[in-house]
Amino acid sequence: MPEAHSRSTSALAQAVAAVLHPVLPAEAGLSLDDVAGMLAPPRAKNMGDLAFGCFRLRPAYDGAPPPKIAAELAEKLPTDGVIAQAVAAGPFLNLTLDPGSMAAAVLPTLARGLGEPVVTRDEKVMVEYSQPNTHKAFHVGHMRNVSLGDALVRLLRAHGHEVVAANYLGDVGAHIAKCLWWFLDVLTEEEQQPPNDGKGEWLGSLYAKANNQLVDWETSAKAGDADAQAKLDAAKARTTDILLKLESRDPELLAVWEKTRQWSLEEFDEIYAWSKVVFDRVFYESEVDEPGLKLVQEYLDKGVFVESEGAIGIFNEEIKHMPFFMLRKGDGTSLYSTKDLALANLKFKDFAIDRSIYVVDMRQSDHFKHVFLTLKKMGFEQAELCHHVPYEMVELPEGAMSTRKGTVILFRALRERMLGHLQEAYLDKYRGEWSDAEIDETAHALALGAIKYGMLNRDVNQKIVFDLEAWMNLEGNTGPYIQYSAARLGSILRKAKEAGKVLDPALVDNAEALRAAGSELVQPEERELIGALDGLRLAVFNAASHLKPSLLCTYLHSLAKAVNRFSTNKKCKVIDQDGDRLQGRLLLVTAANEALRWGLWQLGIPSPQRM
């Protein structure tokens, strides 16, 4: 029976609910799942494994106070199965569970391996993310979007959806015109040669120079500088000329555009490969600019769109503070908005999706409200199925990133600095002992852990202040901390195997043996770890259904803490055990190792075997 790796209730809660539910009065009207959903870990560890709040039972008990209900339930509850002890504590019923039952309920599914996602839901979802512009630099800010979009793709798949991961590259538009203006009119033929390495970044620097020059001229012109005004006007005329030629596919310009665009695309491919991000479909703005303009003309003729100050657009009065949504510029060229109309159409037509998610920063919230509203007014009913996932910006300690001020951290510099630091601080000590390839691979995995976890471990509507030094510290609540706790578990399994001690593969399917092995897991750290592992599916469920990977981050950090408490405690050693206790601990370590690695991978973070 295929099953998505996410559930709204945990395995332990379900096992307990099966015993608790029959004891509750039918008048309470609670289903088995309701009861399971009301069970949660108690406030403090010494209160037991699960707690049941009796507040909602009040009406069924003629309004009796919850503490009295809890006391009554504690009396009635059978304690010879999964529930070993039931104690009323105020309005709560605190339950201590039988170790063998806990282990049997939680560990086998994890120890078997969670594997690849299975489609269990009807809703097919497209997640569009990344959307970098060609001819512009790729920097840390873009990494938040990539990390977030990729994690959402993975989480929705784990949640049981069929997902189309889509990218949408900005390969046409005003920024291209500015870059090509600089490239063609300012650079000499000799200067037009890009470096062998980092062609895309080099192109981005040309765009930055062009843009800075235009801003400078504009500033001077406003201050009354006639010369600057003349230069600005000329440049603007030229960029418009380039833009028009680009949209009409002028052969000469097209050749330059194709050549330079390719430099950026190659760099993006390299970045995505390093980031372990894969797209099922890449859309290009260049494939929707013409269809977009056609749509604008069509709906202008139909009277849905109107002309205003030379531009074409629509007045969406629903958005009071800025009702006019421009769809075609006065010079006849297209805008981001123009292309978004055609793109939405294309997505639904080509992929038969049921839901379309746009991962784009929060500043575009009004834009997408306009897009979806406009689509609806055009009679495109599927606009209802479009959904913008906004997120806050990434800033530097000294303030917002600015290409102009040169304060951006470009991707390549970020990568090199992280890899260099990780090797020097943690991995160089293994030189000679490990192969260079393994050291490189481990540094790569840790760098991904640091940057992705850093970007994801924060609610989407919180700003991130990116402090490279702090993130490279790798202490505390970080990706590498979680990777480290998994590596330790891997190390335990590896050393146990060397000592000839392995998990009996038949154990996970043998109820009797499971109970016997599980009953040995009585140390507080072991019980706590089983309880923590029980939360994995719920964490994935919440992260996927709320589209918030940060929820999984928070869970994995608490799981890693439980793992490290177990690994550190000498009373929980594995290798010096035998028999049922050895099997119980091997089962626990195997399950925890799988949970951590699988959980991290749902965030796009690989786990090194050792570190």
Partner RNA sequence: GCUCGCAUAGCUCAGUCGGAUAGAGCAACGGUUUCCUAAACCGUAGGCCGCAGGUUCGAUUCCUGCUGCGAGCACCA
Residues numbered 331 to 350 that lie near RNA (CB under 7 A) are 331, 335-337
Whichever of 382 and 457 has its CB closer to RNA, that residue is: 457
Cα dihedral 483/486/491/497 (nearest 10): -140
Hey, which residues between 397 and 436 contact RNA (CB under 7 A)? 400, 422, 426-427
DSSP 132: P
Tokens representing 201? Answer: 């970044």
Please name the helix (run of DSSP H) or strand (run of DSSP E) that holds residue 128, with its range, or none. Answer: strand 124-128
Per DSSP bridges, beta strands 124-128 and 355-359 are: parallel
Q: Which of 157, 199, 488, 537 binds RNA (CB under 7 A)?
A: 488
Please report the sign of the dihedral spanned by the C-alpha atoms of residue 111, residue 113, residue 117, residue 120. negative
Whichever of 24 and 162 has its CB closer to RNA, that residue is: 24
Q: Which of 68, 245, 355, 367 binds RNA (CB under 7 A)?
A: 367
> Looking up tokens 């000592």, which residue turns up?
499
Whichever of 37 and 606 has its CB closer to RNA, that residue is: 37
- Determine phi and psi for 196, rounding to 5 degrees: -65, -40
Instruction: Determine contact, residues 551/488, Cβ cutoff 8 Å.
Output: no
Alpha-carbon distance of 28 to 51, in angstroms, equals 18
Q: Give the side-chain half-sphere CA count within 13 A for 240.
A: 11
- By CB under 7 A, tell whether 364 contacts RNA: yes
Hey, which residues between 199 and 218 contact RNA (CB under 7 A)? none
- By CB under 7 A, tell whether 90 contacts RNA: yes
Tokens representing 124? Answer: 């097919």
- By CB under 7 A, tell whether 461 contacts RNA: yes
User: Would you call 359 helix, strand, or coil by DSSP?
Assistant: strand
Strand order in the sheet with 124-128: 281-284, 162-169, 124-128, 355-359, 386-389
- By CB under 7 A, tell whether 465 contacts RNA: yes
Options 44-52, 192-200, 226-234, 268-276: segment touching RNA (CB under 7 A): 44-52
Q: Give the side-chain half-sphere CA count within 13 A for 154.
A: 24
Q: Which of 542, 583, 590, 607 binds RNA (CB under 7 A)?
A: 542
> Looking up tokens 């000294």, which residue turns up?
398
Q: Which of 567, 583, 590, 593 binds RNA (CB under 7 A)?
A: 567
Alpha-carbon distance of 110 to 556, in angstroms, equals 15
Whichever of 124 and 336 has its CB closer to RNA, that residue is: 336
Please name the helix (run of DSSP H) or strand (run of DSSP E) that holds residue 83, with its range, or none. Answer: strand 83-89
- By CB under 7 A, tell whether 481 contacts RNA: yes
Please report the sign of the dihedral spanned by the C-alpha atoms of residue 415, residue 419, residue 422, residue 425. negative
Options 269-277, 317-325, 409-417, 508-516: segment touching RNA (CB under 7 A): 317-325
Q: How far is the CB of 390 from RNA (least distance, A)?
A: 7
Please name the helix (run of DSSP H) or strand (run of DSSP E) that holds residue 282, with its range, or none. Answer: strand 281-284
Number of residues that bind RNA (CB under 7 A): 94
Residue 76 Cα distances to 36, 47, 99, 197, angstroms: 18, 19, 21, 74
- Distance between alpha carbon 248 and the CA centroid of its chain, in Å? 38
Options 102-110, 225-233, 376-384, 457-465: segment touching RNA (CB under 7 A): 457-465
Hey, which residues between 143 and 202 contact RNA (CB under 7 A)? 170, 173-175
Options 96-104, 184-192, 268-276, 572-580: segment touching RNA (CB under 7 A): 572-580
User: Would you call 167 helix, strand, or coil by DSSP?
Assistant: strand
Q: Which of 78, 310, 379, 579 binds RNA (CB under 7 A)?
A: 310
Whichever of 294 and 363 has its CB closer to RNA, that residue is: 363
Q: Which of 139, 527, 557, 597 binds RNA (CB under 7 A)?
A: 557
- By CB under 7 A, tell whether 454 contacts RNA: no
- The 24-43 site mask, x for binding RNA (CB under 7 A), equals -------------xx-x-xx
Whichever of 52 and 411 has its CB closer to RNA, that residue is: 52
Buried/exposed 420-442: b ≥16 CB within 10 Å, e otherwise:
ebbbeebbeeeeeeeeeeebeeb
Options 144-152, 297-305, 452-460, 591-599: segment touching RNA (CB under 7 A): 452-460
Options 267-275, 363-371, 376-384, 401-409: segment touching RNA (CB under 7 A): 363-371
Alpha-carbon distance of 120 to 7, in angstroms, equals 12
Options 73-81, 109-117, 364-372, 373-381: segment touching RNA (CB under 7 A): 364-372
Options 247-255, 261-269, 476-484, 516-524: segment touching RNA (CB under 7 A): 476-484
Q: Which of 216, 287, 366, 440 binds RNA (CB under 7 A)?
A: 366
- By CB under 7 A, tell whether 495 contacts RNA: yes
* Among 414, 141, 147, 136, residue whose Cα is nearest residue 267: 136
- By CB under 7 A, tell whether 396 contacts RNA: no
Options 116-124, 145-153, 180-188, 469-477: segment touching RNA (CB under 7 A): 469-477
Whichever of 119 and 404 has its CB closer to RNA, that residue is: 404
Q: How far is the CB of 561 from RNA (least distance, A)?
A: 5
- The 241-280 site mask, x for binding RNA (CB under 7 A), equals ----------------------------------------
Alpha-carbon distance of 82 to 98, in angstroms, equals 5
